[in-house]
Amino acid sequence: MTPDWVKDAVFYQIFPDRFYIGQGPAGQPAPVQSAFEAWEAPPTLRGFKGGNLWGVIEKLDYIKQQGFNALYFCPIFASTANHRYHTSDYFQVDPILGGNEALRCLVEEAHRRDMRVVLDGVFNHCGRAHFAFQHIMENEAASPYLDWFHIYKFPLNAYSKHPNYAAWWNNPELPKFNTANPECREYLLSVAEYWLQYGIDGWRLDVPNEIDDDDFWREFRRRVKARNPEAYIVGEIWDDASRWLQGDQFDAVMNYPLGRAILGFVGADALDKDLAAKSGLGRLESLGAMACHHRLEDLFRRYDWEIVTAQMNIMTSHDTPRIFSILRGQTERVRLAFAMLFTLPGAPTVYYGDEIGMAGGHDPDNRRGMIWDESRWHKSIQQIIQQMSALRRSLPALRRGRYQYLYAQDGHLAFARTLEQSSVVVTINASPEPWRVNIPLHGVWPRGGQAVDLLSGKSGRCAGGYLEDGVLEPFTLAVWQAHE
C-alpha cells in the first residue's frame, strides 16, 4: 500500500535558497546576514541569495492559499553549494537555512496547517567537505573510512578535473559512496531514520538508480516504514520505473513521462524543443490527442493502481527549464497544462514560481529568486491552479477515480474519472479554435439529462449516449458533472 495522504496531495517544490529570506528568532537565521547575491540579479552557479527555512515558514499561508498542501524541498542539509546536493553533514540543516531548529519549527507549522513535508535524500554521493571524505584526504590509506568510497589512488585529486576516485558524473566535488560497505550503509540508513523523528513525512530520493542495489532500497523502505508507515518514498526516476515499483522499494516516482505527455499535447507547435532537449526532459514530441492518450494509458497500466494514484506528477522542476519558457510565454497554454495536470491520476506537483509564470532557461537560470512583487505575477496562471486545486479537493473522483478514455481527435481529448458510482468527464481543447463538444459517453452517465461544467458553470446536454452542446474556447478545459 502507498501512503493514503499522497492521493490527496498537491505538492509545491521549493528551492530554499531562492524562495524567501525570513528573519526567524533573534540571532537567527544564519551566521551570515550579508554578502549574498542580489535577489533580483541573474542567478549564478556559485552564488547564494540567502533564502532560508524561516522564510518558508513566513510564506506558509501564501502557499496554502495557492492550493498546496504538501511541500517537497530540494536538499536542506549542510553543504558548500547553493543547491545543497554537495552534502557535508547529513545530521545538520545548513546554518544559512536556519539550522535544525528552523526545520523543527517548519514541520510543526506545516502540520498545524495540515501540510506535509518531504525532504530530498542524496544518498548516492556527498560533497568533498563530508567528514569521512576529508578524513581520507588527510590520512589516506590509514583512514578507517577508506572503504566508504571507491578510492583508486593517492594522493586524492580532489581539486582536479580528473578525480582518482569514483564521483558522480566524474565531478570531483561529488565523491560516490560505497553503499556495499556495511558501516557506510548503516550511516545512510540512520540518516533516513533520524529526520523522521523530526516529523517529516517522507523522502524524495536523488538519482536512486545509481545505487544499483535493490537490497539497499528494500532495507531503506523497511527502516523508514518501521518509523512511519505513512512516510512517502518517491524516487527520481525519469523513465520506466518498474524495477523500483514492485511494492518493496519506492511508493512512487517523479512522473516526468506524464509531464512530457501533457507538454507535448498542450504545447504542440509552440514547444521550445531545443530548450527542453538540453535537460532531462529530452526532446519533447508534439502530440495529437490520441498519441497523448496512448502515452497516458500506458503509464496508468504499467504500474499497480495504488502506485498510479500516488505518483508525483511533475512537468518542470529545478532540473528543467521553466514551463513558461518551454511554452514560449504563451500563458493560455501554461494555464491549460496546469489544469490538465490536476485532472489526471496522481499528485500534481508545481515548482515554486511556476504558479505566477516565472521564466527560466537552464540551470542556474531556472533557479531565480522568487518574485514577490504581485504586479509582475501572471495572475491568470495563479488563479487556474487555485481553482483546479479546490476542484480536486471537492471531487474524490479526481483524486482516486479510474481513468476512462472517451474521445481523442486532433487537439481534442476527453476522458472520465470514475470512483464507485461517481464520475466526472474532462474535455480538453488544446487547439486554437473553439470546439463544440459532441463526444460519446460510453455508459459513464445515463443516456439523458443535463451536465454542468464545474469551472465555467455552463450547461451541456446528455442525449443518446453523447455529451453535446458545450462549446470549449481555445486552450481551455471543462470538468463536467451530471446534473439532474
Name the one residue in this structure whose C-alpha cell is 478514455.
Answer: 405
Distance between CA 315 and CA 293 in Å, rounded? 17
Distance between CA 302 and CA 123 in Å, rounded? 27
Backbone phi, then psi, for 483, in 5-degree steps? -135, 115
Q: Which three cell numbers stand for residue 239?
A: 523513465
Distance between CA 18 and CA 115 in Å, rounded? 21
Quick one: which of 357, 311, 349 has its CA closest to 71?
349
Distance between CA 103 and CA 379 in Å, rounded? 30
Residue 312, Cβ density class (10 Å: 0-12 exposed, 13-18 middle, ≥19 buried): buried
Q: Which three cell numbers stand for residue 139?
A: 590520512
Asked if residues 344 and 416 have their Cβ atoms less than 8 Å apart, the reply is no
Distance between CA 315 and CA 366 in Å, rounded? 13
Catalytic residue from among 206, 251, 355, 453: 206
Distance between CA 396 and CA 310 in Å, rounded? 14
Asked if residues 107 and 39 have their Cβ atoms less than 8 Å apart, the reply is no
Q: Which three cell numbers stand for residue 318?
A: 529545478
**First vs last Cα of the chain: how many Å apart?**
37
**CA 436 → CA 427, 460, 472, 473, 479, distances in Å?**
11, 10, 6, 9, 15
Task: Work out the angle at residue 367's Cα, subtended by the Cα atoms of residues 68 and 285, and round it to the nearest 5 degrees.
Answer: 80
For residue 236, indicate whether it is catalytic. yes
Catalytic residue from among 17, 173, 236, 332: 236
For residue 368, give the DSSP letter: P
For residue 298, indicate whether it is catalytic. no
Question: Please, which residues have CB within 8 angstroms of residue 34's CB and are 6 or more apart in sequence?
Answer: none
Q: What HEC string does 78-126 produce?
A: EECCCCCCCEEEEEEECHHHCHHHHHHHHHHHHHHCCCEEEEEECCCEC
Backbone phi, then psi, for 217, in 5-degree steps? -75, -30
Name the one residue in this structure whose C-alpha cell is 489526471.
Answer: 344
For residue 346, give the DSSP letter: S
Length of the chain: 484
Please report how many Cα atoms fall inside a 13 Å half-sphere around the Cα of residue 259, on the Cβ side: 29
Q: Which three cell numbers stand for residue 213?
A: 542495489
Active centre residues (catalytic):
206, 236
